[in-house]
Amino acid sequence: MLIPTRELTADNLELIEFARAVVDENTDGEDGVHTMGAAVRGADRRIHGGINLTSPAGHAPNWSRSETREPRGRES
C-alpha cells in the first residue's frame, strides 16, 4: 500500500519546532521521563503545546502540561 506524501510547509515546521521547544524547556535531563511533546494550531492560529509528565511514584497515570503561544504576524 502506498501512502501519499507531500513536503512540509512552514506552518508544519513551526508546529514541530514548538513541540521540540516544549520538550527542551520542560525536560528533566538526558535520561528524563518526558517521552512526548505535541503541538496543534487552533482556528485562531494560536499554537497549543503539551508534554507528558510521568508520576515520580511510578504507578500513577501520566499527567500533562500545556502552554499556548499567540500567532505570529503574517505577511500579506
pLDDT of residue 68: 73
pTM of the model as a whole: 0.67
Pick from 20, 26, 53: which is nearest to 39 by CA?
A: 20
What is the Cα–Cα distance from 15 to 48, expressed in whole angstroms?
Answer: 9
- The cell numbers describing 31, all together, are 535520561
Long-range contacts of 29-32 (CB under 8 A, 24+ apart): none
Q: Determine contact, residues 52/38, Cβ cutoff 8 Å.
A: no
Where exactly are the structural domains of the chain? 37-71
pLDDT of residue 69: 72
Q: Can you tell me which residue has the cell 505577511? A: 75
Q: What is the pLDDT along the chain (76 residues), one digit of tens a residue?
A: 899 999 999 999 999 999 988 888 877 667 666 567 889 999 998 899 888 766 666 544 555 556 677 766 544 3
Q: Determine contact, residues 67/49, Cβ cutoff 8 Å.
A: yes
pLDDT of residue 54: 65
